[in-house]
Structure formats: C-alpha cells, structure tokens
Structure 1
Amino acid sequence: MPSPMTFTDPRLKALDGFHVEIDEATQRADIILDRPPYNIVSMPQRDQFRLVFEALDEDERVRVIVIRALGEHFSSGGNIKGFMEASPEHVSKLAWNIASPTRCTKPVIAANRGYCFGVGFELSLACDFRIVTDTTQYALPEQKLGQIPGSGGSARLQMMVGITRTKDIVMRSKRISAQQAFDWGIATEKVADADLEKATDALVAELLTFSPMAQRTAKKLLNDSEDSTLSIAIELEGHCYSRLRQSHDFKEGVEAFHEKRKPAFKGC
C-alpha cells in the first residue's frame, strides 16, 4: 500500500498544495496535487516541486514517478497574485523549477483530467508521458493577462507541434481538446475519464518491465538530442548503445531472449 513520504530537507517539511506517496511494492512514487477543485499552484509550490523531483530521483525505492491530482481538474494554473508579489529574480527561475520532471532520470507520467492550464500544462509538458481523458483541456492562457508562458510551455509546445499551431494556441489563448492533444502528439494516450487511474497503473507496470539503466539512457539521449542535428543525434545514440553493451542488463536481456523467459533486470 502507498505510504506518505517524509523528507529530510527542511524546505519540504510542509508541502504546499500537494503531497507525495510511495508504493515500494510497485516501485512507484505519486506526486498528488491536493488543492481542489482547481489545484492552483502557488509560487512556493514550484520550488518544492523541484526539490521533490530531485529527492525522488535519488530514492532507490522508486522506479517510476506519477504526477496526478485530486478532483476533476489537474490544475487551472498558477496563483495569479503570486506573480506580482514574487521578485524578478524568483520569477526568472520558474522554467528551471518546472523543468524538473525532464531533468529527472526516471520515467515521469502526467495523469491529466479536466483543466490543465498554464503551469499545469507546462509541468505536464515537462513529463515523459501524458495520459488524457475525455474531459482534459490544455491551454496556455497568459495572453489574457498581458503575459506570455514563463515556465517553458511555448518552447516545449513548439518542439512538439510546430510554430503555426503554437502561435495559434499561445497568441490566442486557445484551448486544446483531449482529441486534438492526442492527434497532434502532445498526449501519449487518450482514455475515458473513468479509466485514467487504470491506464496510469498499466503504463507504470509496463515501464517496470524494462531495464532501469536502459530507460535512463533512452530518456537522456532523447532529451539531449531533441534539438540537435541528425548526425549528432546518431553519434550520441552510438555512444549510448556502446555503453549499454557492457551492462549486466543487456547481457541478461540477450540471455532471456534466447532462453525464452522474462529478463530479471537489475539496473546495472
């Protein structure tokens, strides 16, 4: 059964608007937004997200991380008043904090239902997998406030869907339906609203069948080569392949294949 996670870092003694659970049996950690109905994200919460992802990245009990929310909405975005109260220096760190799922070496899944706006969308874009439901709506509505996305949203979205669609979404504060998100390659999977938890559990279980080392390597390679030239991406892939060639997990995978059994990966 999942149990609440406690942290030694004094900055994480009182989590603001979310909590963390670990299920050692499934090697899974859940970051759960718990400020319903809209799960508005505060400024301190952004800093804590970064610290929590860094802690979970070092936790040997955890193989896969899920970020989800209580209630019918993932998050309607950030605390608007908080932007005016934060210093320019603090605001300049927004993108670094929200990029923590990308920097995390472990697979990160965003389970999105209902509103997923502003920083809620940006945080989800920084994850490796996004599962949406029929009720999910994505948006970057900052233009309505006389602002632009400040936590990497427009940049990540442009890499996924191109400049034309990104301008349409950002410059018109346009909402993206779950079906559009899936069709455009933003969402990994689209399911019925009642099936979100089941689909998330299934993806976690699938990811656990692979080598932890191969998963970490694949994630870093794909992130590092996303905006590189083809020749550099191929070169990096070759080096990563060569490194994994020496691993126990690769040897185990090959032997299991020939012996027609499931591999027992150890992550080394």
Structure 2
Amino acid sequence: MQLQAIQQFLETPFDGFHVEVDAARERADIILNRAPLNVISMGQRDQLRQVFEALDAHPQVRVIVLRAVGEHFSSGGDIKGFLEASPEHVSKLAWNVAAPVRCEKPVIAANRGYTFGVGFELSLACDFRIASETTRYALPEQNLGQIPGSGGSARLQKIIGVARTKHMVMRAKRISGEQAYEWGIATECVADAELESTVDALVDELRRFSPLAQRTAKRLINDNEDAPLSVAIEMEGHCYSRLRSSHDFKEGVEAFHSKRPAVFRGE
C-alpha cells in the first residue's frame, strides 16, 4: 500500500476509535474513544486489525501506541454483539485481536482503569504494557457463561503460569496494575499522572534502535515461544548471522568506536 493510500485510509472514520500519526516522532497512536467505558464492538475488531496492518506498512511510523480516552482503557466487548454475530465472524475474532503480535513494529499498550475482556486481550497481544496504578485487569467471561475467545487465557498462561491463569479466568478475578507488574504481565506500573510521559519515554527509547534489529528480535522471540531450547538457540544464531551483514550493524559498531550516536536506516 502506498503512503498516500495509507494516509487516506487512516483518515476515514472508524467505529469507536481514531488514529493519530506523528511523522516527526515516528509514532502512531490508535485511540479508543467510545467513552466512558470504551466498549469494543464486533466490527471494531476487524477495523483495528486493518489499521494495525496499515500502520505496519507506514514508512514514517516506527512505534505504535494503543491507548484510550478517559478513565478506562476498555471494559471489554459489546455483549449483545456476541449473540448477533455470525459463526464465521466469531471465528475471526482471535485473528483480529492478534494483529499487534503480527506487526513487525513495536506496539505499546497504555492501560488505565478497567482493562477487561477483549481490552485485556488486545493489550496482551502488544509487546509492552504500561499500567497506571488505577488499572484493573480481568477476563470476566465466566460471569456470562463463557471463556475468553481471543487468546486471553492462552497468552496469559504463557506469562503467569497455570495456577494464576486459573485464578483470573475460572474465578473472573480482577488484579491491579501493581499486581500485574509483580506477576510479569505489565512492563511497568506508574502513577496515573505519569502514564503518558512513561509511554512517551518508551517510544523515544525504542526509536533509538535499529528498525531491522527490532523487527528481527520481535519475530525471533515470538516464533521461539514454543520452541525447544536447542531450536531457539539455533534460530537466534541464524538471525544474528544475518544481522552481521546489515548496514545498521556496521553503523552501530562504527558509532560505538567513534563515541557518537548511531544513525540507523533499517537496512
């Protein structure tokens, strides 16, 4: 998709969210804006997937931030929508929610207040979760006679293990941002007033690195999640070898020896 077509697409009205691109800071924000609870509709999930794919192809974007207006990130999905959706549509939910995982670029979730259901699942699909002290994470589907359907329990189990996942899923328990940080769900937990500045700092930090090395690291880590240790080490070696011939690695080494900031091109 060409840049002009991407920009035109990102300027179209979306269901329950909008997009802001700051080319000067190489940053794009996907902002949930159905206040006060930012409920995520069924159709919105497909649009979110399309936007993540467009931003992944955007040449002026290095980092993507998923955030929300108001006091709550999202209370979850539109309950009525589940009963109205076709089986075919429902079967695509997990694929749509996994869009941040498939992005080659780093994706940050900025969480505050309620981060429930699909709001939590979307956040779990991101690379970094910055939580404010007001954050409450939950997968409350048991209250509806259901289970998480978009990767929530599966991703959570990889992060916190079986016992804690059962505690959250089978008992529909909420945990705080601080507890999520202690359990390894959140990358950081900060005062609510510091959420935006913390996310800003992380965006700028990630922009300092080689886009090529960032893409390689993300894909390697994701692909090796279920691999045996010997296979993971072998794949890491292959990726390391490929990066050794890149312009960015040469630039990084020369900049280190010259004691100057590296200027990476993603090549």
Normalising TM by the smaller chain, what interval? over 0.9
Taking the aligned partners of 1:92 and 1:232, their CA distance within structure 2 comes to 31
Indicate the residue corresponding to 2:159 in structure 1: 160
Indicate the residue corresponding to 1:18 in structure 2: 17
Structure 2: gaps of 5 or more residues? 1-5
SS at match of 1:162: helix
Taking the aligned partners of 1:97 and 1:14, their CA distance within structure 2 comes to 19
Taking the aligned partners of 2:222 and 2:50, their CA distance within structure 1 comes to 21
Deviation at 1:6, TM superposition (A): 4.2
Question: TM-score, normalized by length of structure 1?
Answer: 0.96
Percent identity for Structure 1 against Structure 2: 72
Indicate the residue corresponding to 2:239 in structure 1: 240
Code of the residue aligned with 2:165 in structure 1: it is T
Indicate the residue corresponding to 2:35 in structure 1: 36
Indicate the residue corresponding to 1:119 in structure 2: 118
Q: How many residues align?
A: 262
Taking the aligned partners of 1:7 and 1:82, their CA distance within structure 2 comes to 29
Deviation at 1:179, TM superposition (A): 1.1
RMSD: 1.1
Q: Give CA-to-partner distance per residue, 1:194-243, whole Å, 9 cap, x none.
A: 00000000000000000000000000000000111101100110010011
Indicate the residue corresponding to 1:76 in structure 2: 75
Q: Following TM superposition, where does structure 1 have runs of at least 4 consecutive aligned residues deviating by more than 2 angstroms?
A: 5-9
Indicate the residue corresponding to 2:195 in structure 1: 196
Work out whether 1:183 is the aligned partner of 2:161: no
Code of the residue aligned with 1:206 in structure 2: it is E
Cα separation, partners in 2 of 1:246 and 1:180, compared to 1, 3 Å: same
Indicate the residue corresponding to 1:65 in structure 2: 64
Code of the residue aligned with 1:59 in structure 2: it is H
Q: Give CA-to-partner distance per residue, 1:103-141, whole Å, 9 cap, x none.
A: 000000000000000000000000000000110000000
Deviation at 1:7, TM superposition (A): 3.5
Indicate the residue corresponding to 1:138 in structure 2: 137
Taking the aligned partners of 2:158 and 2:9, their CA distance within structure 1 comes to 37
Taking the aligned partners of 1:70 and 1:100, their CA distance within structure 2 comes to 21
Deviation at 1:14, TM superposition (A): 2.8
Taking the aligned partners of 1:163 and 1:23, their CA distance within structure 2 comes to 40
SS at match of 2:146: coil
Taking the aligned partners of 2:20 and 2:163, their CA distance within structure 1 comes to 40
